Amino acid sequence: MNRTVYSLEGKELRSIELDDAVFGLPINDDLIWYAITNELANKRLGTASTKDRGEVHGSNAKPYKQKGTGRARRGDKKSPLLVGGGVIFGPRPRDFSYSIPKKAKRMALKTILSLKAQSDTLKIIEDFSVESGKTKDLVKLLGNFGKAERTVLILKDDDPVLKRAASNIPWLSYLSYNRLRAHDLFYGRRVLMLETAAKNLNEFYGDNAGSAPEASEAAS
Question: For residue 215, what pLDDT is reported?
Answer: 39
Q: What is the DSSP string of the chain?
A: -EEEEE-TTS-EEEEEE--HHHHSPPP-HHHHHHHHHHHHHHH---------TTTS-S--S-SS-SSSSSSPP---TT-TTSTTS--TT------------HHHHHHHHHHHHHHHHHTT-EEEE-----TT--HHHHHHHHGGGSSS-SEEEEESS--HHHHHHHTT-TTEEEEETTS--HHHHHH-SEEEEEHHHHHHHHHHHSTT-----GGGGS--
Question: For residue 89, what pLDDT is reported?
Answer: 94
Question: For residue 209, what pLDDT is reported?
Answer: 61
Question: For residue 208, what pLDDT is reported?
Answer: 64
Taking the alpha carbons of 61, 64, 67, 73 in that order, is the dihedral positive or negative? negative
Question: For residue 145, what pLDDT is reported?
Answer: 87
Ranges of the chain whose pLDDT falls below 50? 211-220
Instruction: Return the domain boundaries, the chain.
Output: 2-27+102-217
Q: pLDDT per residue over 8-49, tens digit each?
A: 888 888 889 998 999 999 999 999 999 999 999 999 999 999
2-27+102-217 CATH, one of 3.40.50.720, 3.40.1370.10, 3.40.50.300, 3.30.2390.10 = 3.40.1370.10
Question: For residue 218, what pLDDT is reported?
Answer: 45
